Amino acid sequence: MIDLAVFDIAGTTLDEGHQVYRVLRQCVEDRGATITDAQFRNWMGTEKRSAITNLLTLGGVEADTGTVDEAYGWFVDALARAYREQPPSPFPGVAEVIADLRGRGVKVGLSTGFSTDVAESLLTGIGWTVGGADATLDALVCADQVAQGRPAPYMIHEAMQRTGVLDVHRVLAAGDTIVDLQAAHHAGVIGVGVLTGSVPAEILKEQPHAHVLSSLADLPTIPEYATLG
């Protein structure tokens, strides 16, 4: 039985054309960082200021406060511009899965490595709302609202607190990155990887997981779904 489902946003719930990772990589490489694909993958899905700091350092650039502040500001502006030019939209079938889960009495929340302002802007852009019986979602938890973002479990646990869910064994968390699955593992919940992001199946399957699916729209195919009301 599942009482709460927590989904990542970019690459899992919303198709944003991988813009966030294109912009993030450009952000650090334009400032002189040289990073490998594997190094970059390890910071996909994490809180973005932390990702910039660590990717700059890995790439041989001194990540002092001024450098990180400037780089993060550039990242936010460039991503907003990219999203205006190519607005994100839900992956096919995802809105229907969310509605079906909530119709069966399951709470649904989103978690994200984005800051609150970016995440709220994304949801406003697609007309999704949070909180209340007539809303699209029951909770939105952003990386700047907890002590530490992924791979820490705190966003999942915060979603549990906001929705009144007590048992981690009755929580499912889905995402398209390595740290999504690591966060689910650390939280003690059912971890589901999806392949609508940029991480190949063989890499996601190296992480602790219950399922790896082609898309979040395939969630109704897992055994846990059959036990819902």
Give a three-class secondary structure readout of 166-216: CCHHHEEEEECCHHHHHHHHHHCCEEEEECCCCCCHHHHCCCCCCEEECCH
Confidence of residue 227 (pLDDT cuts 50, 70, 90): confident
Q: Measure CA of the first residue to CA of the last residue in the chain; give whole Å.
A: 9
- Which own/partner contact pairs does 159-163 have at CB distance under 8 Å and 24+ positions apart? 159/4, 159/6, 159/109, 159/111, 160/4, 162/109, 162/138, 163/4, 163/107, 163/109, 163/138, 163/139
For 208, counting Cβ atoms within 10 Å of its Cβ (0-12 exposed, 13-18 middle, 19+ buried), the class is: exposed
What mean pLDDT do residues 21-29 have? 96
Q: What residues are paired with 91 via a beta bridge?
A: none
Question: Tokens 């096919």, residue?
Answer: 92
pLDDT in tens, 106-160: 999 999 999 999 999 999 999 999 998 789 999 999 999 999 999 999 999 999 9
Helix ranges, 14-93 (H): 19-29, 37-41, 48-58, 65-85
Rounded CA separation 71/66 (Å): 9
For the stretch 142-161, what's the b/e string if a residue is b when 16 or more beta carbons lie within 10 angstroms of its beta carbon? bbbbbeebbbbbbbbbbbbe
Rounded CA separation 191/105 (Å): 20
Confidence of residue 228 (pLDDT cuts 50, 70, 90): confident
Which amino acid is residue 95, in one-letter code?
Answer: A
pLDDT in tens, 41-85: 999 999 999 999 999 999 999 999 999 999 999 999 999 999 999
The structure tokens listed for 36 are 């490998």
What pLDDT is stored for residue 226 in this prediction? 87
| Model pTM score | 0.93
Pairing of strands 139-142, 107-112: parallel
Rounded CA separation 155/6 (Å): 9
Question: Domains in the chain, start-ordered, CATH in brackets?
Answer: 4-15+89-226 (3.40.50.1000), 19-85 (1.10.150)
Mean pLDDT score across all residues of the chain: 96
What is the percentage of the chain residues whose pLDDT exceeds 70? 100
Whether the CB-CB separation of 40 and 33 falls below 8 Å is answered with no
Model confidence at 9: pLDDT above 80: yes
What pLDDT is stored for residue 15 in this prediction? 96
Whether the CB-CB separation of 2 and 106 falls below 8 Å is answered with yes
